[in-house]
Amino acid sequence: MKTLRIAVIGTGYIADYHVRGLLEQPAVEITAVAAATEGSVKKFAEKYHLTDAFLTTDVPALAPREDVDAVIISTPNKFHAPYALAFLEQGKDVFLEKPMAMNAREGEEIIALAEEKGRIVMTGHMWRFDREVNALREKVAQGVLGEIIKTKGYGIHVNWGPGGWFTRKDLAGGGALIDMGVHAIDTVRYLLGDPRPLSVYARTGTFYGSYDVDDTAELMITWENGTVSLIESGWWHPHADGPEAATRLFGTRGYGSVFPTFIKLKGEEEQNLTPGDLVKSEHCDQSIYTRQMEYFLTCLRERTQPSPGMEEGQTVMRIVDAAYLSSRENRVVHF
């Protein structure tokens, strides 16, 4: 098996999950690490014993290196598109932490260049690799719940919210919606079989902190299959009806839920769908990210476009853009 040589861009919280996932895979070498400061990149390399990795604060300089096959980009959103474009231009494959970009226009640029260069781009919507999510998705695909009429999904931090670049529009592109809401949006789309969105109506606002981004958003998405999805996102909220990516499905034959994960059909007892051997140390468990990295590497070796990839990442971007536009202009946005 050929050893894949990976560069890691960004050394923050989420990069830890990605690198731990990479280090569990065979025939992988982290050949380069880049971050904003020399101190952070050195500390990160020492933490994971990356003694032979090239360390730098100059990200563009990594793109043409011959010892890099692909890159993991885990930076503030502002840098997702420019860094992805730099590596794609040099013929490298790209993994982008969610969201794919700051907006759909940047997403289009990434897609165009990736297709021109024949490269792979994966977007880090990691809930698609959660075993409970997939257990419910299988039931939906089998038609067990009947036609799905409506859904409710959540991406909310209770009595907590991020700081730093997450709360700056120039670095993040938005607030809780682009940070947490994307999890709820992509999870329900995945559960429904990835339908196209037809319209979005949204209200966003800032109520819990002093920053120039939203900490509250409510969306109503209408999908091509007729399902209507209600999405809630937020920071610092006093309560949430479910943890990150929790989704409720209302079908003509019954009800389905993920986190907690079960179905309840008409006239029948509730059926638990949580895998019996499932062990998690936390809700967003390392195992999800490890499976995500394993899949990404498989796509690199087999030269297949991943899902979630460009289409899935761009669809979420289009919905987020439409939600912000809808809120500003107080109208339904149609695609």
Same domain, 271 and 171: yes
pLDDT (tens digit, 9 = 90+) per residue, 203-221?
A: 999 999 999 999 999 999 9
Same domain, 88 and 179: no
CB 195 within 8 A of CB 223: yes
CB 30 within 8 A of CB 55: no
Q: Which residues 6+ apart lie within 8 Å of 277 measured at CB?
A: none
The pLDDT of residue 37 is 95
The pLDDT of residue 1 is 83
pLDDT at residue 192 is higher than 90: yes
Q: What is the DSSP letter of 213?
A: S
Alpha-carbon separation of residue 35 from 43, 73, 280 (angstroms): 10, 10, 30
The pLDDT of residue 56 is 97
The span from the CA of 252 to the CA of 32, in Å, is 52
pLDDT (tens digit, 9 = 90+) per residue, 128-162?
A: 999 999 999 999 999 999 999 999 999 999 999 99
**Number of domain units in the chain:** 2
Query: Which whole number is the average pLDDT over 280-287?
Result: 95
Q: Establish if 302 belongs to a structural domain.
A: no
Same domain, 112 and 148: no
User: Which residue carries 């006093």 as its tokens?
Assistant: 238
Quickly state the pLDDT bin for 3 (edges 50, 70, 90): very high
Same domain, 264 and 159: yes
Domain boundary among 91, 108, 124: 124
Same domain, 195 and 238: yes
Cβ burial of 227 (10 Å; 0-12, 13-18, 19+) is buried
| Average pLDDT for the chain | 97
pTM for this model (two decimals): 0.97
CB 327 within 8 A of CB 195: no
CATH number at residue 223: 3.30.360.10
Q: What is the DSSP letter of 49?
A: T
Same domain, 229 and 275: yes
Q: Establish if 16 belongs to a structural domain.
A: yes
Range of the domain at 37: 4-124
Same domain, 136 and 267: yes
The pLDDT of residue 32 is 98
The pLDDT of residue 320 is 98
Strand, helix or coil at 235? strand
Q: Establish if 296 belongs to a structural domain.
A: no
The pLDDT of residue 29 is 98
Q: Establish if 294 belongs to a structural domain.
A: no
Q: Establish if 71 belongs to a structural domain.
A: yes
User: Which residue carries 């986190």 as its tokens?
Assistant: 259
Query: Which whole number is the average pLDDT over 29-54?
Result: 97
Q: Establish if 303 belongs to a structural domain.
A: no
CATH number at residue 59: 3.40.50.720
Same domain, 259 and 154: yes
Same domain, 79 and 214: no
Alpha-carbon separation of residue 123 from 119, 133, 238 (angstroms): 13, 17, 31
Same domain, 153 and 275: yes
The pLDDT of residue 208 is 98
pLDDT (tens digit, 9 = 90+) per residue, 215-250?
A: 999 999 999 999 999 999 999 999 999 999 999 999
Domain boundary among 70, 100, 124: 124
Q: Establish if 84 belongs to a structural domain.
A: yes
pLDDT at residue 312 is higher than 90: yes
Same domain, 96 and 193: no
Domain boundary among 95, 124, 153: 124
Q: Establish if 253 belongs to a structural domain.
A: yes
Q: Which residue has the higher pLDDT, 129 or 279?
A: 129
CB 127 within 8 A of CB 247: no
Same domain, 28 and 79: yes
